[in-house]
Structure 1
């Protein structure tokens, strides 16, 4: 990605012009760091859509399929199952940074690009994050641990919840940041917002909304799965942690229609 953590003078100027001319970017950068904002944008020039990444909602599987579709018929030898192609700059959906003079998000919306994303029950999403990023990740260099308030991995799920509910959205890692903030709900007009709980159906519907014929939709794959099944939620949540999560992520529950009760 062309933009660095420490911006050059030219990059600062490009960003300033973008904020002046692109309301989507200006609003997002009030609550999301620049690096997170840029990392979460995937643009298909071939099919004219923008996918806004919302981690822990089946995004790895979806981005792999989108990369496969974008590469289809080309002479590229990129592997759409390779994590570097799915998530990082090697992705064919990362061909440019949406910062002036490149097309910005508002430019793309004005040109008729469609916007899509996915959401998930906040209780399940947080548990999936903990199990994937901390419970099963024993490496000494864990980038998610560095985004915790004390810069260290939590010892258990209760400690994880206690730590993150006190963070501001801007300071959170995208994996546990409010989904309302991640996808800029209410500020971006989406063609389709899929639900993780209905993944196999909404996976197909996402591509249909983008105008992809059923015969051309890539095969559904399940990548980066965690064991955050519905039947396990009661093993991790007690009344206190449930109340704390509901209070902190109330916007997500209300905006996406998820109830206070834990899924059965």
Structure 2
């Protein structure tokens, strides 16, 4: 375990990656089963949260239809609910199994663009704020223009759906016991089940209301200019998670 970090310092360190509020939304803790999931949007997070929430509620035979609840309404435990000692153990000790999933920046970023910017008639409030436009407005932004915007925006100010994954996973602050890949989700999710509890598998099902089939649309959106901008914007993700920056 790393040296004890008091809560004010921990919050300060996290604030270089995301807000404390956002961290509480993204961090899902099972005290009963001693594991922690830090979500990465557009990387199967709906299915993972769906399984975790139903695992926590299995004694009550309740069903959650929407896994994207406000963090204070989620059945999983949140960092703000824990005292400093337990939170430090959750985040830094080997007692709690910490896991997440990552995805090739080519498909994750394109999926975020299609789902959050191109497809909606009206932008969601959080997306509007990230783009600096009026809430509920629409926007005509090409994929190349979107990638230029990403390049010009500091990671901390980017919306979580396209913020670099190393930023979402607090790279350099948190250590994970397992980071699976979206491209091999079924096999990697099985590893999570085996390293946590078989009960998690009982609640597993595909839940992807925001699917965009981005893998089938790469040729339509990527050319020399968009590829170059994507590689610059997500260089650290390519390097840290071992995805090839040049598609073959």
So what's the TM-score if we normalise by structure 2? 0.86
The reply on whether 1:43 has 2:22 as its aligned counterpart is: no
Shift in CA distance, 181/140, structure 1 to aligned 2, threshold 3 Å: closer
CA contact (8 A) 1:84 1:90 kept: no
The reply on whether 1:219 has 2:204 as its aligned counterpart is: yes
CA contact (8 A) 2:47 2:205 kept: yes
CA distance in 2: counterparts of 1:250 and 1:167, whole angstroms: 15
What is the number of residues matched between the two proteins?
240
The residue number in structure 1 matching 2:66 is 82
How far residue 57 of structure 1 moved from its aligned partner, in angstroms, is 0.2
How far residue 95 of structure 1 moved from its aligned partner, in angstroms, is 5.2
Shift in CA distance, 19/198, structure 1 to aligned 2, threshold 3 Å: same
Q: Deviations over 1:188-220 (max 9, x none)?
A: 12111010011111122122122x137954232
CA distance in 2: counterparts of 1:170 and 1:209, whole angstroms: 32
The residue number in structure 2 matching 1:29 is 15
Superposition pairs for residues 240-255 of structure 1, below 5 Å? 240-255=225-240
The residue number in structure 2 matching 1:136 is 119
The reply on whether 1:113 has 2:96 as its aligned counterpart is: yes
Shift in CA distance, 129/103, structure 1 to aligned 2, threshold 3 Å: same
The residue number in structure 2 matching 1:239 is 224
Q: Deviations over 1:132-167 (max 9, x none)?
A: 111221125532121125567452222211111111
The residue number in structure 2 matching 1:122 is 105
CA distance in 1: counterparts of 2:200 and 2:114, whole angstroms: 35
Equivalent of 1:103, from 71, 81, 86?
86
Q: Deviations over 1:38-89 (max 9, x none)?
A: 22111111111111111110100110011111211x2263x2332455x643
CA distance in 2: counterparts of 1:218 and 1:18, whole angstroms: 34
Equivalent of 2:52, from 38, 48, 66?
66
So what's the TM-score if we normalise by structure 1? 0.81
How far residue 27 of structure 1 moved from its aligned partner, in angstroms, is 2.6
In structure 1, runs of 5+ residues without a counterpart are 1-15
* Greater helix fraction, Structure 1 or Structure 2: 2
The residue number in structure 2 matching 1:203 is 189
Report which stretch shifted further, 91-100 or 46-55.
Answer: 91-100
CA distance in 2: counterparts of 1:179 and 1:141, whole angstroms: 21
The residue number in structure 1 matching 2:158 is 172
CA distance in 1: counterparts of 2:108 and 2:115, whole angstroms: 10
CA distance in 1: counterparts of 2:162 and 2:68, whole angstroms: 22
Partner SS for 1:89: helix
The residue number in structure 2 matching 1:18 is 7
CA distance in 2: counterparts of 1:243 and 1:141, whole angstroms: 28
